[in-house]
Amino acid sequence: MSTAIKQQHLIEPHGGRLVDRTGPRPDGVEQLEQVALTSRELSDLDMLASGALSPLEGFMARHDYESVVDDMRLANGLPWSLPVCLAVDREPDGDRVALTGAEGTPVAVLDVEGAYEYDKQREAERCFRTTDDAHPGVKRLYDQKPLYLAGHVTVFERAEPAFPELALDPAETRAEFAGRGWKRVVGFQTRNPIHRAHEYLTKGALETVDGLLIHPLVGDTKSDDVPAATRVECYRVLVENYYPADRVLVSAFPAAMRYAGPREAIWHAICRKNYGCSHFIVGRDHAGVGDYYGTYDAQLIFDEFEPHELGIEPMFFEHAFFCRVCGSMATPKTCPHGGDDHVFLSGTKVRELLSEGKLPPAEFSRPEVAEVLIRAYRS
Ligand SMILES: [Zn+2]
């Protein structure tokens, strides 16, 4: 059976078709007006190129933007929870511009559909549920240029992946899933090292499906998050030692964090649908920051859509811990015992132990993972 036929068993991309916005370098790029992208916009551009943001083919036009901000839908009604926009100072003169990457060299062209003003406070209030500029996503929004430039993109130079061995586009993860005979695949978004609690969630989810995609976000994060290189090493030793190789794929998710909590949970799920996941793990306070969002807001927001509209099925999880009485990992859903019986360490306590070179309890973290973190803290 060909891969294409086998792929029919996988979930369809969002909107029905995997977008490919890569293409050859057009003539005369050097003569075009240049627009420099921020690192967050470059992550979005690369995800537009690969189809990770299907059905988007470029940076959003006003009708889609307004509809997304107001109703979490594209203008055609398809669910979409966060703006994917390119901020500029002024409307370009020509009908095509060159988009430049980190080195200042052109990596793509954008066919200009127009530029429009947007209301930063309104976008913050609707998308981040706060207008507080202490929120990292809101601050980034407030610092942006004043107009959004809309248009389809054609990317002729893809971004250099931070982790080449983990770089798989949606078409490639889909081919991998199909090759392994997986139909039902659960995606796990993470921007932290995986300790026992999240290992338990991913394995609980995997018990009910064919395969698990561990899909760490490797785009921009806050400076106090654990660096991606350290996390990637943690995932490697964890999966090598504690997961069956034929049931798990680790690959990098090139997105930047927005810290938009509930809306970002929907957005993360839709992107993973494009990568071929039929299910998506949503824990407590998914994509949250500080105390801007309620513990379950990122789960409750899925109720605002009919299940068939999203296509991908969210799997909601509670906070997990090791319970000494149960003698196993558990959650408040499955364990009747009190907090004193649970192995609990605050983030501060864990950092304190690791920076002193001490292993946290094995009920909290696998020693192989903790050792990677200890080495990172010491260097
Ligand atoms: Zn218990």
Q: Which two tokens stand for residue 124?
A: 């913050």
pLDDT in tens, 66-120: 999 999 999 999 999 999 999 999 999 999 999 999 889 999 999 999 999 999 9
pLDDT band at 1 (very low <50, low <70, confident <90, very high): very low
pLDDT tens for each residue of 300-355: 999 999 989 999 999 999 999 999 999 999 999 999 999 999 998 988 899 999 99
Long-range (24+ apart) CB contacts under 8 A made by 71-76 are: 72/263, 72/266, 72/304, 72/305
- 76's CB contacts (< 8 A; 6+ apart) are none
Check whether 4 has a pLDDT greater than 80.
no
Rounded to an integer, the average pLDDT of 192-204 is: 96
Mean pLDDT of the chain: 95
Tokens for 17, please give them: 């078709």
Non-local CB neighbours of 342 within 8 Å, separated by 6+ positions: 321, 322, 323, 324, 335
- Please give the backbone phi and psi of residue 118, each rounded to the nearest 5 degrees, phi first: -140, 155
How many angstroms separate the CA atoms of 250 and 202, rounded? 12
Residue 23 has pLDDT above 70, yes or no: yes
Residue 7, pLDDT score: 63
- Asked whether the predicted pLDDT for residue 367 surpasses 60, the reply is yes
Q: Are 261 and 169 in contact (CB under 8 A)?
A: no
Q: Dihedral sign, CA of 192, 194, 198, 201?
A: positive
Q: Which residue has the higher pLDDT, 6 or 280?
A: 280
pLDDT grade for 162, boundaries at 50, 70 and 90: confident
Instruction: State the pLDDT at residue 6.
Output: 54
In the chain, pLDDT over 70 holds for what percent of residues? Answer: 98
Exactly one of 21, 129, 140, 191 is catalytic; which is it? 191
Give the angle subtended at the CA of 131 by the CAs of 128 and 136, to the nearest 5°: 65
257 Cα–ligand 1 center, Å: 34
Average pLDDT of 229-255? 96
- Provide the CB-side half-sphere exposure for 58 (13 A, CA): 19
Six-digit token pair at 9? 């068993």
Q: What pTM did the predictor assign?
A: 0.95
From the list 62, 158, 192, 351, the catalytic residue is 192
Distance 152 CA to ligand 1 centre (A): 54
SS3 for 196-219 is HHHHHHHHHHHCCCCEEEEEEECC
pLDDT in tens, 113-136: 999 999 999 999 999 999 999 999
233: its two tokens:
């090493």
Interatomic CA distance for residues 151 and 148, integer angstroms: 10
How far, in Å, CA of 253 to CA of 255, rounded? 6
Q: If you measure from the C-alpha of residue 116 to the centroid of ligand 1, how many angstroms do you get, rounded to a whole number?
A: 56
CA of 352 to the centre of ligand 1 (A): 27
Is 192 one of the catalytic residues?
yes
CA angle 277, 191, 348 (to 5 degrees): 145
**Scanning the structure block, which residue is given the tokens 């002193």?**
356
Per-residue pLDDT tens over the stretch 134-151? 999 999 999 999 999 999
Alpha-carbon distance 356 to 26, whole Å?
Answer: 55
In the reported structure, the alpha carbon of residue 323 is separated from the centroid of ligand 1 by a whole-number distance in angstroms of 5
Q: Which residues contact 51 (CB under 8 A, 6 or more apart)?
A: 13, 18, 19, 20, 21, 169, 170, 171, 274
Question: What percent of the chain shows pLDDT beyond 90?
Answer: 89
- Decide: 96 and 32 in contact? Cβ < 8 Å: yes
Q: How far apart are CA 315 and CA 175, in angstroms?
A: 24
CA–CA dist 214, 249 (Å, integer): 6
191 tagged catalytic: yes
Give pLDDT, residue 255: 95
Residue 155 alpha carbon to ligand 1 centre in Å: 53
How many angstroms does the Cα of residue 327 sit away from the middle of ligand 1?
A: 7
List, for residues 212-237, the tens digit of each pLDDT value.
Answer: 999 999 988 877 788 899 999 999 99
Cα-to-centroid distance, 142 and ligand 1 (Å): 46
Distance 324 CA to ligand 1 centre (A): 7
Average pLDDT score over residue span 55-63: 98
Distance 140 CA to ligand 1 centre (A): 43
User: Is there a cis peptide before residue 55, judged by omega within 30 degrees of 0?
Assistant: yes
